[in-house]
Amino acid sequence: MEPPKQVKAETPADYLEVLTKAVFESGMSWKVIEAKWPGFQEAFHGFDPERIVSFSPDEIDALTGDPRIIRNRRKIESTVHNAAAMLELEREFGSIRAYLQSKPEFWDLVKDMRKRFKHVGDFGAYYFLYVVGEPVPAHEEFRAKLLEGATKKG
């Protein structure tokens, strides 16, 4: 399997789109998400975070019945939360890229992302960072570190 295509993320909407794809791919086949992605882009208004943070409860309810997307309420609500977090990062750091580069260590950034964003785990953070062109460890090294952590926990 080849790695996901990298994108040149410039705006908060670009970053939010990649993060949302990571959220919705969690526990799903990436092929299903890829096939529905044009519907996601329409339903989430091009991932404009200003628009998404203003979703009303009725709009969220409507998305839970929208066949263009995966109708998982928790992931939809996570997208709304994550849009607000992206806007906050823009205010706090001046840009999403500046935030991503504020943590020199990969695992420190992943830990911080898990706190700031909903429904983002280690693999979702790795995927997001890779796709937006931030430095990540080799996939084999990343997986080994995850497995090492899993054996220490259990």
pTM of the model: 0.93
Q: Which residue type is seen at 84?
A: A
pLDDT band at 152 (very low <50, low <70, confident <90, very high): low
pLDDT band, very low/low/confident/very high, at 8 (cuts 50, 70, 90): very high
Phi–psi pair at 119, nearest 5 degrees: 65, 30
CATH 1.10.340.30 for domain 12-153, yes or no, is yes
**Could you read off the pLDDT of 61-109 as tens digits, one per residue?**
999 999 999 999 999 999 999 999 999 999 999 999 999 999 989 999 9
Question: What percent of the chain shows pLDDT beyond 70?
Answer: 96
Predicted pLDDT at 154: 43
Cβ contacts of residue 134 below 8 Å, gap of 6+?
Answer: 100, 101, 109
Q: What residue spans define the domains of the chain?
A: 12-153
**In a 3-state reduction of DSSP, which class is residue 27?**
coil
Instruction: Check residue 29 and give left, alpha or beta (phi > 0: left; psi -120 to 50: alpha).
Output: beta
